[in-house]
Amino acid sequence: MALTGTDGTATSVAMPSCPGTHTYQRESGRTRAMDSAARAFASLPPLFTFTVDVEIHPGGACAAAPTRRLLDLLEASDSRGTFFILDDVARTDPSLVREIAGRGHEVASHGYAHRHLATETPECFRTGMAGARSRLADLAGRAPTGYRAPYFSLTPAAGWVPAVLAELGFAYSSSLLPARNPLAGWPGAPRRPFRWDGGLLELPVPLARFGPVAVPFLGGMYLRWLPGWRLKALARNWAAADGGGALWSYCHPYDLDTAERLGWRADVGRFASLMLWLNRRSTLPRLQGLLEGRRSVPFTARLPELVAQAPIWRPAP
């Protein structure tokens, strides 16, 4: 059990619920990594939305313990987040969904299966999503209004998805990466919030330029791997270019899970599997730094303001 104190000594804390040997570094005081992250993000606005994609990792990580660690982290800064929950998690660990909702966070949907939208058909997607939404509604006590596509895979090949989501009762989506990207992207889409025909609000992934590349810098491997000076430059870049947009971060429970064994993920390949497994200890202090002097509120609390500012966007046919 290893806790890192202000004097640098380490003890540890086991998190509840997950079988096995999951342990977490818990900061009982400030650390240099946390201070460095706080400085890197100083140019970002004081209000944002901390989002989590809650899924069962193919490497075998349990979602429950690190998800509870994230709930604690948010609540320590008087923040609440938006948790996009995959149907697999809702079916296998319903108590976790109840707990997220009961602690005042937003329960939203990460889909009924973790696969690219381009591989879906409208019929299967409609049926699967209706079931997933209903399950979350039963567990959380209210129907989810938000959706996030696996892999941010709302691309031109899945342009029919927003209409189906609106038909099912969703109010917003946070599923589109408005640039070229190795996994999925919609180059040319707006970088600020917009509405689809039919009214669904879309909240694109916040991007900042790194030379010719647009980087979704506030989440996943980018947040974990980029050096502090680069994150600082990207945060300034975002504030200068998109400061009036909607800021949000994203992470996964496995990003914190230092106990998971290395496994090869067929969906991302061996190199990305290794990168997803290494350097997980850097995630927590960076998230702490992001929450320093900044407060997260769920997307649902920001919707009226975001919808009022969002123009309709019609992709070119």
* Tokens encoding 212: 């010719």
CA distances from 90 to 136, 139, 153, 182, 299 (A): 7, 8, 21, 29, 20
In this complex, which beta carbon is closest to Zn ion, that of residue 153 or of residue 237?
153
CB of 211 to Zn ion, least distance (A): 27
Min CB(240)–Zn ion separation in Å: 30
Q: Which two tokens stand for residue 275?
A: 């990168």
Of the candidate spans 23-31, 48-56, 122-130, 291-299, the one that interacts with Zn ion by CB under 5 A turns out to be: 48-56
Label residue 225 left, alpha or beta by phi (over 0 means left) and psi (-120 to 50 means alpha): alpha
Site string for Zn ion, 133-162 (x = CB under 5 A): -----------------x------------
- Binders of Zn ion among 55-84, rule CB under 5 A? 55
Count the neighbouring beta carbons within 10 Å of the beta carbon of residue 76.
10
Distance CA 152, CA 158 (A): 11
Closest listed residue to residue 226, CA positions, set 294, 282, 292: 282
The residue (of 228 and 253) whose beta carbon lies closer to Zn ion is: 253
Select 53 or 202, whichever has its Cβ closest to Zn ion.
53
- For CA atoms 97, 72, 62, 152, give the dihedral sign: positive
CB closer to Zn ion, 55 vs 260: 55
Of 255, 246, 297, the closest CA to residue 279 belongs to 255
Q: Which is nearer to Zn ion, 55 or 106 (CB)?
A: 55
**Which of the ranges 13-21, 40-48, 50-58, 91-99 carries the binding residues for Zn ion, by CB under 5 A?**
50-58
Considering the complex, what minimum distance in angstroms separates the CB of residue 110 from Zn ion? 6
In whole angstroms, the minimum distance from the beta carbon of 306 to Zn ion comes to 22
Q: How far is the CB of 83 from Zn ion (least distance, A)?
A: 12
Which residue's beta carbon is nearest to the bound Zn ion? 53
CA distance 181 to 53: 19
Residue 206 binds to Zn ion (criterion: CB under 5 A): no
Query: Which residue in 37, 26, 28, 30 sits closest to 294, CA to CA?
Result: 37
What residues contact residue 194 under an 8 Å CB cut-off, 6+ apart?
A: 201, 202, 204, 310, 311, 312, 313
Minimum distance from residue 54 beta carbon to Zn ion (Å): 9
Please select the residue that binds Zn ion; options are 53, 87, 88, 120, rule is CB under 5 A.
53
Sole window of 26-34, 38-46, 52-60, 236-244 interacting with Zn ion (rule: CB under 5 A): 52-60
The answer to whether residues 95 and 312 touch, using CB atoms and an 8 Å cutoff, is: no
Residues near Zn ion (CB under 5 A) are 53, 55, 150
